[in-house]
Chain A
Amino acid sequence: MTAGWSRTRLSTFVRGAVLIVCLLVILFPIAWLFLMSLKTHRDALSYPPTFLFVPTFQHYRELLNETQFFRSLVNSTLIGVGAVLISLVVGTPAAYVLSKGKLRTEQAALRTLLLLRMMPRIVFIVPFFIMLRQVGLIDSHIGLILTYQTFTIPFFIWTLRPFFEAIPASLEEAAHIDGATNFEALRFVLLPLIRPGLVTTSILAFILCWNEFLWALILSRRHAVTAPVAIVNFMAFEGTEWGKIAAGGVLVLLPALIFSLIARRFLTAGIMGGAVKG
């Protein structure tokens, strides 16, 4: 009995140790990026790398004072918020209708939307570039907000669908018996019930836009450059300014991280786009 007990203790200890080592290995790259962003130019360039140094916020100050980079952060925010608002207004009613999902056409629509979410961004670059050039929307916020609907609307529909499905049909019927129109039932009965779902989906969709890189790269020049594109640009120009490069990375990473953690409760559902239940 005692031998069995201590063996369990030992294996628990070993497992705990393995867990901690894995965690350290996984987190080290992120920690290193943070450290790098706090190093002076000389510390950042030294080899062997310095682990102990006097931290400085000089790179962050410089970056945020640099109009180009600061502006890219503003652009990313504006484009993300704009894209989410349109998808919220357009996609929510569609998610509501498709959550009934029994008809063959509805099933087909859902499958098409799933397919659209799986499509690599590269597929659309040539036509989007030509189309936006035709209507003069290259290098504009509107152009990116519109093209981002290609993935934000399907994301909204797939993620919101389970929330609508969870509402008992009797509630909606009760609203209709009380004389509510379709719109009133949706607006005053259903939407308040799925408010947490709306908030979470909006946050996650914003992150999708914030992280988007390829389309922003192709469809912007100077005016509408987003943060990920700005990073690539200044990596090309700053060469070995590793401290500054790392600081730029941290500034793009932090909002994504913070918003993800806020939406964390529902993250599993978000990643899978509601494609797999349970």
Chain B
Amino acid sequence: MSTSGRRERYIVYVIPTGVILAVLTIVPIAFTVWLSLRSWVLTTPGSNRFVGFDTYLALLRSARFRDSLESTVYLSVLPITFQMILGCSLALLLFYAGPRSRTLRILFMLPSLIPPVVVGLLWRVLLAPSISVVNYGFEQVGVSPLDWFGTSAAARAAITIAATWAWAPFVMLLVLAGLESIPNELFEAARVDGAQGLQVITHIMFPLVLPVIYVALLFRIVDALSVLPLIFIMTGGGPAGSTEVVNYLAYSKFTRFELSEAAAICLLIFVTLSAFGLYVASVLQRQERAIA
């Protein structure tokens, strides 16, 4: 049988996947588009009618939506920055510790293995002012305790700390793998040429793992909205909406049955993530080709 003939028959193997995923994605997205052009509030009879782009326009004009974008930027940029710095530092530390650190590595990874809901719960337990062991630690070193969930800045800091703790190991793991793929000869050549510790890092390791660091950063940005469960448990979007990220806002609209508004927000998220995701996919494929 010719190869092409055989390939034809392989189509059968992809049909179930194709059908299931089409029903679970194309139908919902189409429905979301349709919904976002209407003004449906589930609890208001007669509200389900076509309004064109009015829902979007109202959304863009609403202060709450703009505030949620601002919170999203804060709660993406801050955690991701710290995740990258901490992840890279830990990777470097473990890399220098050598192969002996293999068992240690599992321990460093543990936070990334914990369900996001439990990450939120855990940090709520650590920071809740009436019992906060972190505040107790602060008092011991002479820092005044914080009302972690009482002010906007502190609440954003709390989410940032929790998210950094949970996702820095992911960055660490990728960067460490990148560092270990650097051929040993390069380090030896550098030593022969008289390179000092810091020079090795800036002139050999950093340029060589930069592509990996970049991929880690892209993955973290794509995943930025996954702080949602932490926000659910730790702050509930408060105080004063300071931790109400854009997907939390969509959720609140949904729970108040403002379906069209929720759909419009979801569609904006979908379009943004699709565009960025396509870029990430192209970067990944380019790197895959470069390695192969």
Q: Give A contacts to B, CB under 8 Å.
A: 15-16, 18-19, 22-23, 26-27, 29-30, 32-33, 36, 44-49, 90-91, 93-94, 96-98, 107, 109, 111, 113-116, 118-131, 146-147, 149-150, 153-154, 157, 176, 182, 210-211, 213-214, 218, 228, 231-232, 235, 240, 242, 245-246, 248-249, 252-253, 256-257, 260-261, 264, 267-268, 271-272, 275-278
Interface size class of B (residues with CB under 8 A): 35 or more
B117 close to A228 (CB less than 8 A): yes
A54 vs chain B, min Cβ distance (A): 18
**Residue among B94, B181, B215, B229 with the highest chain A CB neighbour number at 10 A:** B229
Collect the chain B residues with CB atoms within 8 Å of residue A278's CB.
181, 291
**What is the count of residue pairs linking A and B with beta-carbon distances less than 8 angstroms?**
246
Collect the chain B residues with CB atoms within 8 Å of residue A46's CB.
131
Q: Does B78 contact A (CB under 8 A)?
A: no
A98 close to B21 (CB less than 8 A): no
CB nearest to B124 among chain A residues: A235
B117 close to A111 (CB less than 8 A): no
B171 vs chain A, min Cβ distance (A): 11
The one of B106, B118, B251 in contact with A125, judged by C-beta atoms closer than 8 angstroms, is: B251
Q: Does B179 contact A (CB under 8 A)?
A: no
Collect the chain A residues with CB atoms within 8 Å of residue B139's CB.
48
Contacts A119-B270, A122-B225, A153-B17; A276 near B107 (Cβ below 8 A):
no
The one of B27, B131, B222, B270 in contact with A131, judged by C-beta atoms closer than 8 angstroms, is: B27
A231 close to B21 (CB less than 8 A): no
A55 vs chain B, min Cβ distance (A): 17
CA distance A44 to B106 in the complex (A): 29
B9 close to A182 (CB less than 8 A): yes
Collect the chain A residues with CB atoms within 8 Å of residue B11's CB.
97
B112 vs chain A, min Cβ distance (A): 8
The one of A15, A47, A118, A147 in contact with B273, judged by C-beta atoms closer than 8 angstroms, is: A118
Contacts A29-B122, A45-B131; A16 near B97 (Cβ below 8 A):
yes
* CB within 8 Å of A: which B229-271 residues: 229, 232-233, 247, 250-251, 254, 259, 262-263, 266-267, 269-270
Interface SS of B by simple majority: helix
CA distance A249 to B120 in the complex (A): 10
Collect the chain B residues with CB atoms within 8 Å of residue A127's CB.
27-29, 31-32, 35, 263
B67 vs chain A, min Cβ distance (A): 17
- Closest 9 CB pairs between A and B? A127-B28, A93-B13, A122-B247, A228-B117, A94-B17, A211-B115, A260-B113, A120-B225, A127-B31
Q: Give B contacts to A, CB under 8 Å.
A: 1, 6, 9-11, 13-14, 16-18, 20-21, 24-25, 27-29, 31-32, 35, 90, 93-94, 96-97, 101, 104, 106-118, 121-126, 128, 130-133, 136, 139, 165, 170, 173-174, 177, 181, 215, 219, 222-223, 225-226, 228-229, 232-233, 247, 250-251, 254, 259, 262-263, 266-267, 269-270, 273-274, 277-278, 280-281, 284-285, 287-288, 291-292
A149 vs chain B, min Cβ distance (A): 5
CA distance A276 to B116 in the complex (A): 24
CB nearest to A253 among chain B residues: B118
27 A-B pairs with CB atoms under 8 Å apart are A19-B94, A19-B97, A19-B104, A29-B123, A29-B126, A30-B110, A30-B111, A30-B122, A32-B122, A47-B136, A94-B17, A98-B14, A107-B285, A111-B285, A118-B277, A122-B251, A126-B32, A131-B28, A149-B20, A182-B9, A214-B228, A252-B118, A267-B109, A271-B112, A272-B174, A276-B174, A277-B292
